[in-house]
């Protein structure tokens, strides 16, 4: 069974960057298409970006282009999300999520979430 374990909560000042991690267990990272999804307080789910297996590349939501970078370390089975130039609108719970069975862009496994607070 695949599990995703995310790093702990972060408190950042406006203008700073944040780097979150998500470690995969139960399956090799190379067998899973990983995505990042965030949820602002009281709001819905927002896809930030992820791996498109058909194009074999990581793609990002247009509104975050230039501020978001997703990377991976296959030796550690860990994916990372870096988001720069933080504002109060980036305060949210950030989830890593994966398609571990080639479900055609559905995410069957989710991390526990990481809270990011942006405050001066």
Partner 1 sequence: SYELTQPPSVSVSPGQTAIITCSADELGDKYASWYQQKPGQSPVLVIYQDVKRPSGIPERFSGSNSGNTATLTISGTQPVDEAEYYCQAWGSSAGGPLIFGGGTKLTVL
Nearest distance from residue 81's CB to partner 1, in Å?
Answer: 15
Nearest distance from residue 108's CB to partner 1, in Å?
Answer: 5
Distance, in Å, from the CA atom of 79 to the CA atom of 105, rounded to the nearest integer, reads: 17
Q: Among residue numbers 90 through 109, which ones bind partner 1 (CB under 8 A)?
A: 95, 97, 103-108
Of 102, 101, 95, give the one whose Cα is nearest residue 40. 95
Should residue 49 be labelled a site residue for partner 1 when binding is judged by CB under 8 A? yes
- From candidates 19, 25, 31, 52, binder to partner 1 by CB under 8 A: 52
Q: How many C-beta atoms lie closer than 10 Å to residue 68's C-beta?
A: 17
* DSSP helix/strand/coil, 22: strand
**Token pair of 88 as six digits:** 């109060």
- From candidates 46, 69, 91, 117, binder to partner 1 by CB under 8 A: 46
Nearest distance from residue 44's CB to partner 1, in Å?
Answer: 4
* DSSP helix/strand/coil, 59: strand
Should residue 110 be labelled a site residue for partner 1 when binding is judged by CB under 8 A? yes
């Amino acid at each position: 069974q695949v599990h995703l374990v995310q790093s702990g909560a972060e408190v950042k000042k406006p203008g700073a960057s944040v780097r979150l991690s998500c470690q995969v267990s139960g399956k090799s990272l190379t067998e899973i298409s990983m995505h990042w999804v965030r949820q602002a307080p009281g709001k819905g789910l927002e896809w930030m970006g992820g791996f498109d297996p058909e194009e074999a590349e990581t793609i990002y939501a247009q509104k975050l282009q230039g501020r978001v970078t997703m990377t991976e370390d296959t030796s550690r089975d860990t994916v990372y999300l870096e988001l720069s130039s933080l504002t109060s609108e980036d305060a949210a719970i950030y989830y890593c999520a994966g398609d571990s069975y080639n479900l055609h862009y559905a995410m069957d496994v989710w991390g526990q979430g990481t809270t990011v607070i942006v405050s001066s």
